[in-house]
């Protein structure tokens, strides 16, 4: 009886742990907790662990790149969207089962029922959606999707991104330490060769360096025009974020930023501004400060929702140009930030 009671208690504990998702899962060679944040590796019909090579999307429904032969997909399989061998395909709308009912693996932003973490192979936002109605993807002609990167992009990843419907790529061109990111031209060229329509770059300025804003802009433009003029679409985004990278004085910050915006105009280059309301107020002290509001705004809000429904006007911008809606996500075998725009 005592042994039977212990077994009953153990089963209850296991069920509770499964229900709340508070258990460890093995990811690569490390054990990480909380599948909501770190992603999860579910199993196939044989109880074997299913790993994934990266994320993908079909009709804007998020999926994962998995091995077909391992039996890790019971949903829709799409070829040509994942790096690796022909056995690796994009799996979307994969079936899942929870103690609360069966469902479909969907990103939480598309689930109209209840999302349960820990039952789907993939990143943390891909969860088992139980109940609700099937997602209605946006009409492809009404939006454009793209990525920004700060690492090298391989030809394989670029081709995969283009095949997945990404129409723009924005690599870092200038670093916060006041130096050129020498990977920018290789990424722009790789994206150009893969057929990606728009290939901008972003300048992460160094306001605390002895190099003026105008010189930082000139250095970037000279590098682009000398090494990859044909591959670059001609626009520079000014990355305005991180109070720790600025002077610590909002008045001085304004003076430096104004010089950077003026450098765009003085050097004849098309620019845009990347920021958010919280970053803007932290750096410049006031959301009513609106220098450069005639430039297009690319704002950040990691809500996983590719739309402008969350946008609130600030700094003179009433309508944004683009939104960075997901950060540090693995797509096509590389780390990217995901972006949305009605027309980039």
Helices 213-227 and 184-194: crossing angle in degrees, nearest 10, is 50
- Cα separation, 235 vs 228, in Å, equals 13
Question: Which residue's entry shows tokens 């790096």?
Answer: 83
Q: Are 185 and 163 in contact (CB under 8 A)?
A: no
Residue 63: exposed, middle, or buried by beta-carbon count in 10 A (0-12, 13-18, 19+)?
buried
Determine the Cα–Cα distance for residues 19 and 327; give it in Å rounded to an integer.
28
Side-chain-side CA neighbours of residue 29 (13 Å): 0
Cα separation of 30 and 11, whole Å?
Answer: 26
Region of 292 (left: φ > 0; alpha: ψ -120 to 50; beta: rest) is left
Order of strands across the sheet that contains 114-116: 95-98, 101-107, 126-130, 114-116
Q: What was the pLDDT predicted at 274?
A: 98
**22, 37 in Cβ contact below 8 A?**
no
Closest C-alpha to 159, from 122, 192, 111: 192
Q: Which residues of the chain, if any, have pLDDT below 70?
A: 1-47, 59-60, 136-142
> According to the model, what pLDDT value does residue 144 have?
93
The answer to whether residues 274 and 298 touch, using CB atoms and an 8 Å cutoff, is yes
Secondary-structure breakdown of the chain: helix, strand, coil percentages, each rounded to the nearest 5: 25, 30, 40
pLDDT of residue 299: 97
Give the Cβ contact number of residue 185 at 10 Å. 21
| Structure-block tokens of residue 204 | 């992460």
Report, as residue numbers or ranges, the catalytic residues: 148, 239, 241
**Res 21: pLDDT:** 35
Residues 258, 281: Cα–Cα separation, whole Å: 15
Q: What are the tens digits of pLDDT across the range 50-77?
A: 888 777 777 667 888 888 898 889 999 9
Which residues, in sequence order, are bridge partners of residue 97?
A: 102
Cite the DSSP H helix spans in the chain. Answer: 2-20, 35-38, 155-163, 184-194, 213-227, 250-266, 277-284
Distances (CA, A) of 204 to 76, 85, 135: 40, 36, 37
DSSP secondary structure letter of residue 207: T
């Amino acid at each position: 009886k005592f042994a039977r009671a212990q077994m009953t208690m153990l089963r209850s504990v296991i069920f509770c742990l499964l229900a709340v998702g508070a258990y460890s899962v093995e990811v690569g060679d490390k054990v990480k907790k909380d599948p909501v944040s770190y992603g999860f590796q579910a199993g196939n019909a044989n109880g074997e662990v299913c790993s994934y090579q990266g994320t993908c999307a079909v009709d804007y429904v998020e999926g994962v790149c998995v091995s077909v032969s391992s039996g890790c997909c019971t949903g829709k399989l799409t070829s040509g969207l994942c790096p690796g061998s022909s056995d690796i395909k994009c799996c979307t709308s994969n079936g899942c089962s929870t103690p609360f009912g069966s469902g479909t693996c969907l990103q939480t932003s598309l689930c109209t029922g209840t999302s349960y973490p820990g039952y789907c192979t993939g990143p943390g936002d891909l969860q088992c959606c139980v109940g609700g109605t099937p997602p209605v993807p946006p009409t492809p002609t009404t939006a454009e999707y793209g990525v920004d990167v700060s690492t090298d992009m391989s030809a394989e990843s670029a081709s995969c991104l283009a095949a997945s419907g990404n129409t723009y790529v924005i690599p870092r061109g200038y670093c916060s330490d006041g130096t050129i990111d020498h990977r920018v031209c290789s990424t722009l060229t790789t994206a150009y060769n893969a057929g990606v329509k728009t290939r901008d770059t972003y300048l992460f300025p160094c306001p605390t360096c002895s190099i003026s804003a105008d010189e930082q802009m000139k250095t970037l433009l000279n590098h682009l025009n000398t090494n990859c003029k044909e591959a670059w679409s001609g626009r520079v985004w000014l990355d305005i974020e991180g109070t720790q990278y600025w002077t610590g004085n909002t008045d001085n910050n304004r003076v430096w930023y104004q010089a950077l915006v003026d450098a765009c105009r003085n050097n004849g280059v098309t620019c845009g501004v990347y920021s958010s309301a919280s970053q803007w107020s932290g750096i410049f002290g006031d959301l009513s400060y609106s220098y450069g509001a005639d430039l297009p705004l690319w704002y950040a809000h990691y809500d996983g929702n590719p739309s402008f429904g969350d946008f609130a006007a600030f700094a003179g911008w009433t309508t944004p140009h683009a939104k960075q809606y997901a950060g540090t996500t693995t797509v096509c075998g590389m780390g990217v930030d995901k972006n949305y725009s009605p027309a980039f």
